[in-house]
Amino acid sequence: MKRQLTQQETLIAQTSWGVLLVAPLKDIHPLYPVNNPAYLESVKSSIQKQGLINPIVVMPVFISDWKLLHKINPDLLPPPEGPDDKVVLQIRCGNNRYYAAKELGWKYIDTKRVYTQDECNSVCKEMRKTCF
């Protein structure tokens, strides 16, 4: 399900995790709600002091697939509005970084696109080694 970059997305770097893109926060959708406000505050503080160390990991998914996932696990956030065949970027790793960036007033954030669950697991495992 690879797709072309939108006009608002910009290639920023080739890293050990692959290509990183800057994407508008409005085009990225969290899978989980904030579940630990104190931890979110520590992430926000870290980002203010050090900047964003790791990009958030996003996976393009169809809204119809997200709806099925939400039926199985209603603790997840529901998908954004739109037709079932619309593809959206779902956060797979970095929900707290996303929420912190929003609270800090950011409009864009660094992202790493993944296209399979195996790729997601591998990238997220590597990123967790550099978390504070």
Total count of domains within the chain: 1
Residue 4 included in any domain? no
Per-residue pLDDT of the chain (132 residues; tens, 9 = 90+): 444 445 455 555 566 656 788 899 999 999 999 999 999 999 999 999 999 988 999 999 999 999 999 999 999 999 999 999 999 999 999 999 999 999 999 999 999 989 888 988 888 888 777 764
pLDDT on residue 5? 44
Residue 60 included in any domain? yes
First to last CA, the chain: 33
Confirm whether pTM is higher than 0.85. no
Which domain does 104 fall in, by range?
Answer: 10-125
The DSSP output letter for 31 is: S
Q: Residue 115's domain is classified under what CATH number?
A: 3.90.1530.10
Residue 5 included in any domain? no
